Amino acid sequence: MKSWRTPMHKFVILAVTTLALPLLAQADDLDDLCWTQQFTRADAWTPQPQWLSHPSPTATVASAGAAICFAVDEPGQGMKWSAPLSAVALADQPYLVLRYRGENLNTAGSDYLLHLDDQDPRHQLHALRLCDVQADGRWHTVAVDVSTLTSADAVNAMAVQVQANRQGKGRLWLQWLSFRNDPPADATVVQRTAAASRQPDWAAPLAAMQWRPQNGWLGNPADDGACRVEKAAATVLFRVEEPGHGMKWSADLPGPLSLEGHRYLSIRYRARQLSRQGDYTLCGQGKPRPGGPSYLSLVSCVELIDDGRWHTLDVDVRGVAKRLPLITSMAMQVQAAGPEASLDVSDIRLSGARQSSRLADALDWHPGAAWQGFRSLPTDAIATGRSDRWLACLRLVDWFAGTASDAGGSSNRFSVTVEGVPF
C-alpha cells in the first residue's frame, strides 16, 4: 500500500470497484493496507553459524502449520538465520509487529532476537532483543517503532536468533510479521528509547500570522508585483507569477514553540505549477542548541504533489527537534515553474499522530449515478464487513454518501459517480 503522500485516486477507484459500499472485506483483513509476511516457508531461512561463537550443530527450522519453528536443542547454544525482506519504507509504516511464541529461550541478553538490515554499517539494528520477549510457551504480539532506532528510510533484510537456556530445547515459533502505521490494540509496545513527554496538538494560527516577503533570502526573487499572499477565511495562498523566480515569506509565531514532544508536522496544501528547486517549502526558525543552525527545513520542495488537488502531508519532526528544539517563526517558499504558481495552505499543525484526509481530496465524486452504458453487479452477499478500520488505515475522515439508487435491490443501497464511473 503506497503512502498517502502519493496520489490515491486510482487506489480508491479500485477499492470501490472491488469493495462496493460498504466495503466488502472483513474488518480484520488489513493485508492490503499493511505490509505483512506470513511465516509458512522454512526454506526461506538460511542458517548462519559463522555469525556466533557457539553455534548449535543440530539447529533446525521447520514449518509448523500456520507458523515456522526455529529449534536449538543444546543447552546454552544458539543459531542465527537470515532471510530476504521486501523493502519497507519506515516513514509510511514505522511499527514492526511480530506474532511469536517461545519456550526455553535465553532471554537475558541484549543481542537481537529479530534483526533488520537498514544498510547502515555503523550499527546493527536490533529491532527486538532477546530481553524484549517472553519464553512462557504462549503466543504474544509485540510492536516496536523501528523509526526510533534508525535514521534509514527503509529496511530490506532480516535475521532471527534463538539461544537455548540451561534446560535446552529452545523453541521460537513465528506466525507473522507486519509493518504498520500504528500498533494494533492487542500488541505489547516495546519502548526502546526514552521518549519526550507528548505535548498537546498545536495548530498554526494561519489567519492571524503576518507573512512578510523576504527578497534578500534567495537569489532569484520575483518582482514585488509578481508575488503576493492572499488570505481567505480558511486558507492562506502564496502566489508567484514570474516563472523561474520565487519568493520567501516569514511570519512570527505568538510565542516560542517547542518541537519536542511532537512526532509529526502536518500540512494540508494545494499546489500548482511549483518548481522543485529550493532549500525548503516550509522551515522553522528559532533558538538552536549550542553550535546548531538557527533554521531548519520542515517540509522540503520535493515532498509536495503539484496537481492542483488538496493533499495532507505528514513529516516526522523528531530529528529536527533534536537540533532546533524551539521555533519562534516560520518561513514559506514558492518557486515558480509557470506563470500561475501557487501554494494554498489550510492547516499546519504539530501532533503525535498522522492527520486524516477527506475523500474529495483524493478523487472527484458526487451523489447519484447515470447507468447508461453500465450494468450494475450485486454484491449484497459479500458486502458484509465494516469499513471503520480500513478508513482508519487510509486516514480518511469520511466515505461516500449518495442518493437512493434506481438500480433496484435492497432499500439501503445508494448510488454515486466516482471519476465518471457509476456505483
Within a domain: residue 267? yes
Per the structure, the count of domains in the chain is: 3
The upper half-sphere exposure of residue 150, i.e. CA atoms within 13 Å in the direction of its Cβ, equals: 25
CA 384, CA 371: separation in Å to the nearest integer?
A: 24
What is the pTM assigned to this prediction? 0.76
* Domain span at 57: 35-180
Q: Are 248 and 332 in contact (CB under 8 A)?
A: yes
Neighbours of 272 (CB within 10 A): 17
Give the torsion through C-alpha atoms of 199, 201, 205, 210, to 10 deg: 50
pLDDT surpasses 70 at 161: yes
User: Are 385 and 347 in a shared domain?
Assistant: no
Within a domain: residue 189? no
Region at 360 (left for phi over 0; alpha for psi -120 to 50; beta for the rest): alpha
Look at residue 153 in the predicted model and tell me its pLDDT: 84
CA 131 from chain center: how many Å? 27
User: Are 29 and 60 in a shared domain?
Assistant: no
Instruction: Name the domain boundary from 128, 148, 180.
Output: 180
User: Are 55 and 3 in a shared domain?
Assistant: no
CA 177, CA 78: separation in Å to the nearest integer?
A: 22
Q: Is the dihedral of CA 248, 254, 260, 264 positive or negative?
A: negative
User: Are 206 and 347 in a shared domain?
Assistant: yes
- Write out the three cell numbers for 280: 525548503
User: Are 130 and 14 in a shared domain?
Assistant: no
Within a domain: residue 196? no
Instruction: Name the domain boundary from 351, 380, 402.
Output: 351
User: Are 285 and 339 in a shared domain?
Assistant: yes
pLDDT band at 375 (very low <50, low <70, confident <90, very high): confident
User: Are 245 and 283 in a shared domain?
Assistant: yes
Residues 204-256 pLDDT 10s? 999 899 999 999 999 999 999 999 999 988 899 999 999 999 999 999 999 99
Q: Which of 46-50, 243-247, 317-321, 337-341 has the lowest mean pLDDT?
A: 317-321
Within a domain: residue 191? no
Look at residue 147 in the predicted model and tell me its pLDDT: 87
Q: Is the dihedral of CA 26, 32, 38, 41 positive or negative?
A: positive
Within a domain: residue 126? yes
User: Are 43 and 157 in a shared domain?
Assistant: yes
User: Are 240 and 252 in a shared domain?
Assistant: yes
Tell me the β-bridge partners of 286.
Answer: 327
- Write out the three cell numbers for 35: 505490509
pLDDT band at 33 (very low <50, low <70, confident <90, very high): low
User: Are 58 and 143 in a shared domain?
Assistant: yes
Residues 275-315 pLDDT 10s? 998 999 999 999 887 887 899 999 999 999 999 999 999 99
- Region 63-90 average pLDDT: 94
User: Are 151 and 76 in a shared domain?
Assistant: yes
CA 337, CA 326: separation in Å to the nearest integer?
A: 33
CA 81, CA 47: separation in Å to the nearest integer?
A: 4
Q: Give the CATH number for residue 89.
A: 2.60.120.260
